[in-house]
């Protein structure tokens, strides 16, 4: 976790929500008031993002204490207390929505990731995320995938070379695209290519690429592709894979399955912040 980026992301989220101030809380609560509260799971799932919630509150009240009752990646049931908080009443109320937005979304991602990982139990196949993330939240969303037991694909365009169908169209052919990216990036940078057909798979194998993305293939075609590659090149399957079909796809022998919906269309986990005790103003 890049701490500088975390602090920047949290600061921007707080600025978006608080603006010039919280008119409701500031009218009702003295600066001196202190409060205890709990973060409470209201739905079964996997927790991710307590460190982000803590970062939110630390920016509003550096003296605020968040005591974890569960660890990141732990399965919880409705009614589980995730953390105890003690600090400024104003900070707890003003930061509630931002803290919960992060915690609920990241926990939702970790939950669905764990479900897929569990569905693939016993198979040597990685569950991978994609770049289909919320703008500005990629680091946190990919963190949640790891907490859920998945693995991160490339973080951004500068982290790996992947030649996809539109790149091939621009270059004129797969062979020309591979030659040009190797010339530009040098021989030590791995090259992954996208293949939609068995013919493209054979072409990619002949070009000795490092990885092949088998895109939108049905399980029967995937199995044929894996057989033709014969372990010589790392493979991943992508496109149209659902929680129900993930194991069937993994059973074809691919090394990984990449799932955009882990981050782009996940449901948030239901978590609440409940005030427990308000201390007298000093």
- Evaluate if residue 80 carries a pLDDT over 60: yes
CB atoms within 10 A of CB 134: 11
Question: Phi and psi (nearest 5°) for 184?
Answer: -75, -40
- 164 carries an active-site annotation: yes
- Evaluate if residue 139 carries a pLDDT over 90: yes
Topology adopted by domain 118-264: TIM Barrel (3.20.20)
Name the token pair of 141: 């969303």
- 215 carries an active-site annotation: yes
- Out of 129, 192, 194, 236, which one is annotated catalytic? 194
| pLDDT (0 to 100) of residue 1 | 86
- Evaluate if residue 262 carries a pLDDT over 90: yes
- Out of 68, 97, 131, 247, which one is annotated catalytic? 97
- Out of 68, 164, 180, 223, which one is annotated catalytic? 164
| pLDDT (0 to 100) of residue 282 | 40
The residue-averaged pLDDT of 54-59 equals 97
Lowest mean pLDDT across 112-121, 155-164, 206-215: 155-164
Percent of the chain whose pLDDT exceeds 90? 94
Would you list the domain boundaries of the chain? 3-113+267-278, 118-264
Enumerate residues 6+ apart whose C-beta is below 8 A from 181: 161, 163, 189, 191
- Out of 131, 132, 182, 278, which one is annotated catalytic? 132
The residue-averaged pLDDT of 71-77 equals 97
The residue-averaged pLDDT of 178-188 equals 93
- 97 carries an active-site annotation: yes
Q: Tell which CATH classification among 3.90.1170.20, 2.40.160.20, 3.40.50.2300, 1.10.3720.10 matches the domain 3-113+267-278.
A: 3.90.1170.20
- 194 carries an active-site annotation: yes
- What DSSP assignment string belongs to 8-45? HHHHHHHHHHHTT--HHHHHHS-TT-EEEEEEEE-S-E
Q: What angle do CA 239, 244, 247 make, to 5 degrees?
A: 80
Q: For all residues of the chain together, what is the average pLDDT? A: 95
| pLDDT (0 to 100) of residue 278 | 61
- Residue range 213-244, pLDDT digits in tens: 999 999 999 999 999 999 999 999 999 999 99
- Residue range 2-24, pLDDT digits in tens: 999 999 999 999 999 999 999 99
- Out of 141, 192, 215, 236, which one is annotated catalytic? 215
| pLDDT (0 to 100) of residue 187 | 87
């Amino acid at each position: 976790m890049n701490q500088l980026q975390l602090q920047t992301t949290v600061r921007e989220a707080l600025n978006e929500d608080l603006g010039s101030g919280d008119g409701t809380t500031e009218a009702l609560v003295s600066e001196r008031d202190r409060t205890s509260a709990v973060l409470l799971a209201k739905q079964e799932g996997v927790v991710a993002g307590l460190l982000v919630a803590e970062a939110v509150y630390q920016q509003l009240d550096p003296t605020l204490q968040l005591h974890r009752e569960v660890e990141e990646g732990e399965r919880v049931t409705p009614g589980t207390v995730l953390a105890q908080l003690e600090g400024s009443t104003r900070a707890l109320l003003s930061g509630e929505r931002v803290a919960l937005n992060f915690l609920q979304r990241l926990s939702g991602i970790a939950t669905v990731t764990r479900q897929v990982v569990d569905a693939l139990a016993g198979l040597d196949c990685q569950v991978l995320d994609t770049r289909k993330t919320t703008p500005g939240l990629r680091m946190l969303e990919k963190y949640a995938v790891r907490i859920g037991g998945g693995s991160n694909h490339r973080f951004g365009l500068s982290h790996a070379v992947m030649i996809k169908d539109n790149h091939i169209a621009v270059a004129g052919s797969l062979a020309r695209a591979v030659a040009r990216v190797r010339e530009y990036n040098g021989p030590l940078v791995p090259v992954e290519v996208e293949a939609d057909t068995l013919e493209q798979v054979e072409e990619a194998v002949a070009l000795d690429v490092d990885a092949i993305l088998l895109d939108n293939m049905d399980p029967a075609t995937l199995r044929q592709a894996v057989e033709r590659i014969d372990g010589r090149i790392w493979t991943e399957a992508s496109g149209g894979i659902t929680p129900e079909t993930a194991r069937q796809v993994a059973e074809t022998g691919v090394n990984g399955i990449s799932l955009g919906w882990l981050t782009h269309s996940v449901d948030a986990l239901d978590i609440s912040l409940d005030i427990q005790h308000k201390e007298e103003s000093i």
